[in-house]
Structure 1
Amino acid sequence: MFASNLTSRVRIVAILSSVTLLMAACGSSESASDADESDRLTVVTTVAPITSIAANIIGDRADIVGLVPEGTNSHTFEPSPSAAEVLSEGDAIFINGLQLEEPTKRLALAARGDDVPLVELGDLTIEPDEYRYDFSFPESEGKPNPHLWTDPTLVKVYADIIRDTMTDVDPSGSDHYDENYEAFAALVDEFDEAVTAALDTVPVGNRKLVTYHDAYAYFADTYGWTVVGAIQPSDFGEPTPSEVVALIEQIEAESVPAIFGSEVFPSAVLEQVANETGASYIDDLRDDDLPGAPGEVDHSWLGLMKFNFVTMTEALGGDATDLATFEVRDVAPDEATYPQ
């Protein structure tokens, strides 16, 4: 009887011990999971094209949070106070720079940790003697045209800077960032070839851009085009009557066949200019508002630029058939947050 009771007690103790160990193991697993979650990196970006480029390099090694809503004027965007909390949690912050997002930059400088890099991509990509100034970005005001991301060759530099920064922040991910960068750079090179082939079909005399918001100064330098003018003044208000008359005269003198409005900046003035000059008016060129919705394949930097270059080529008398079939794709999962 005693032996039987002893055996039963030993079994009970063994069972209880197993349960205790199992619970401890589960508890350890949950703690490790929680720790992994708390150790996950956060990267903060500004405009959507930069968010997309960063997502291609970073992939799933960090949570990527964009701050500037798509479809807004990124030049005048004022971040809400809640953005300070997002910035304070960032392990790296990427902005375009070249004075595009000054309110966001000021908030980031105040909110970030002492060891968190605030990277101004544009300032690291070109030197001051390469800055472009124009009607919308006059040199007298000291603010260069900041739209480097419309030039694929400069986007590769953006991606390289993001790769190097993330390697410093997250050394264990070095191979991951290198692999994604190499794949993205190859994709951009492939796209650049397709763009060049399409643009070469545009008659030489038509390779001229008149836009509402001048986002193509660096693109024009690289691909040998001319930016005839832009109608949006540097204060983002409406142009004066004399400025409109001067642009009309320039368009007529240059025989510009088409002028481009902005999806973000609709302009009755530019439509009037088109009517006065007989040029075609295309009103949906995009500066930094990605096509489609987050999660869709075209919602990317590559989708944005494909749309714009196809639109330009066709409107100015070229053949965009091959470019229109170019496969838009990311080289890494894009699960970034894009405010709408």
Structure 2
Amino acid sequence: MKKSLISLLLALLATPALADKLPVLASFSILADLTREVGGERVDVASLVGPDQDAHVFQPAPQDVKKLAAAKVFVVNGLGFEGWLSRLSKSSGFKGQTVVASQGVKAQDMAEEEHDHHGHDHGHTDPHAWHNPQNVKLYVNNIRAALTQADPAGKDYYSQRASQYSQQLDALDADARQRFAAIPASQRKVLTSHDAFGYLAQRYQIRFLSPQGVSTDAEASAKTVAKLVRQVKAEKIRAVFVENMTDKRLLEQLSREAGVQVGGKLYADALSPANGPAPSYLKLFSHNVNSLSAAMKP
């Protein structure tokens, strides 16, 4: 009993009070979650771009400039993901530490037809490296190093949390590999607005195909539907996740005429709100894997 009490007191002493927490700003919700996982009780993390928000169309406001100016550490993805980054840093006069979470990742090129898709303008580099858990381990290590540099007293604390989280990422990766390996390669095809999933495709040998003839028009024509049906049948696609298809009737028609299962929502660049299916990176990845693997099966 006495030993337990001493351990509790030591843990309380090692945990900083709220006012003493290291102020950290992340560029978007996924990075904010990773930073909280590594930083735990020693950090106070805010995110510029929140859950269910698009970082590609984000425009920093005056309050965002203030947020960055007040932070000691700024966590960004890099690889051209945050096109507004240099403007914000210049406006805020940020003097703290900026950590590029993707440093060390082997970057992939985006397929030619994906350039500028849905407003994504990353040149030839695909910045969505977090869709491979092994890349996220690099993110976590970079974040750990940055937090340790800003808060040397938390070195062991950050190292322990980063190590534990990396083990969870390994387990997540192993589960995904097992799930997709159980599906024949010929069935590992997905029709989707797929500009964000190149790293997932490479890691698990999935083919993400672009929908032909689909635009952001409010209502798709019979010709468009017929073209999609032909594509699905020709490619023998079992999984369809098309963000542009906001009209439920179109999804139902495609499912009926092509005999294909229409999957739910995939989370690419942002977490869901706390009450959604993807409020953390681990849950986001699991949701995507579950949705994709279920839709690929006969």
Please tell me whether residue 176 in structure 1 is matched to residue 157 in structure 2.
Answer: yes
Q: CA deviation at 1:266?
A: 5.6
Provide the residue aligned with 1:91 in structure 2: 72
**Over residues 20-50 of structure 1, what are the superposed CA-to-partner deviations in whole Å (9 max), with x where a residue is unaligned?**
xxxxxxxxxxxxxxx9665431110122221
Is the contact made by 1:132 and 1:218 (CA closer than 8 Å) also made in structure 2? Answer: no
Count of paired positions: 276
Tell me what 2:171 maps to: 190
Cα distance in 2 between the residues matched to 1:141 and 1:315? 29
Say what the alpha-carbon RMSD is for the aligned residues: 3.4
2:128 to 147, 151, 172: 147
Match of 2:5 in 1: none
Q: State the identity as a percent.
A: 25
Tell which deviates more after alignment, 181-190 or 273-282: 273-282
SS in 1 for 2:45: strand
Superposition map of 1:278-317 within 5 A:
278-291=259-272, 293=274, 299-317=279-297
Please, what TM-score do these two structures have when normalized by structure 1?
A: 0.70
User: Deviations 1:143-168 (Å, cap 9, x if unpaired)?
Assistant: 52221111111111111110111111
Per-residue CA deviation, residues 170-204 of structure 1 (Å, 9 max, x unaligned), is: 11111111101110111111111111111122222
- The structure number with the bigger radius of gyration is 1
Corresponding residue for 1:63? 44
Q: 1:37 to 1:267 in 2, by over 3 A?
A: closer
Q: Deviations over 1:103-122 (max 9, x none)?
A: 245213431433x1222323
| CA gap 1:98/1:243 in 2 versus in 1, 3 angstroms | farther
Decide whether the 8 Å contact of 1:203 with 1:317 is kept in 2: no
Question: Helix, strand or coil: the match of 1:67?
Answer: strand
1:206 aligns with 2:187: yes
Report what 2:114 is aligned to. Answer: 136
Q: Where do 1:147-166 residues align within 5 Å? A: 147-166=128-147
Listed as ranges, the matches of 1:1-340 within 5 Å are 39-114=20-95, 116-122=96-102, 124-127=103-106, 130-137=108-115, 142-229=123-210, 250-262=231-243, 267-268=246-247, 271=251, 277-291=258-272, 293=274, 299-317=279-297
Distance in 1 separating the partners of 2:28 and 2:74: 12
Change (3 A) 1:195 1:38: same
Measured after TM superposition, the shift of residue 134 of structure 1 is 4.2
Are 2:194 and 2:208, in contact at CA under 8 Å, matched by a contact in 1? Answer: no
Amino acid in structure 1 at the alignment position of 2:289: F
CA distance in 1, matches of 2:143, 2:212: 33
DSSP 3-state at the match of 2:196: coil
- Write the deviation string for residues 274-307 of structure 1: whole angstroms up to 9, x where unpaired: 666443222412223434517x996210011111
Question: Any idea what SS the aligned residue of 2:113 has?
Answer: coil
1:40-73 deviation digits (Å, cap 9, x = unpaired) = 3111012222111111111111100011122222
5+ residue gaps in structure 2?
A: 1-15
Give the residue type in structure 2 aligned to 1:181: A
Deviations 1:220-265 (A, max 9, x none): 11112222226799xx966999999876654433211121134xx6
Contact 2:80-2:122 at 8 Å conserved across structures: no
Alpha-carbon distance in 2 for matches of 1:39, 1:169: 13
Corresponding letter in the other structure for 1:293: A
Counterpart CA distance in 2 for 1:317 and 1:159 is: 33
Would the alpha carbon gap of residues 105 and 61 (structure 1) be closer, same or farther in structure 2, given more than 3 Å must change? farther
- Seen in structure 2, the aligned counterparts of structure 1 residues 193 and 285 have a Cα distance that, compared at 3 Å, is same
User: d(CA) in 2 for partners of 1:232 and 1:106?
Assistant: 36
Equivalent residue number for residue 31 of structure 1: none
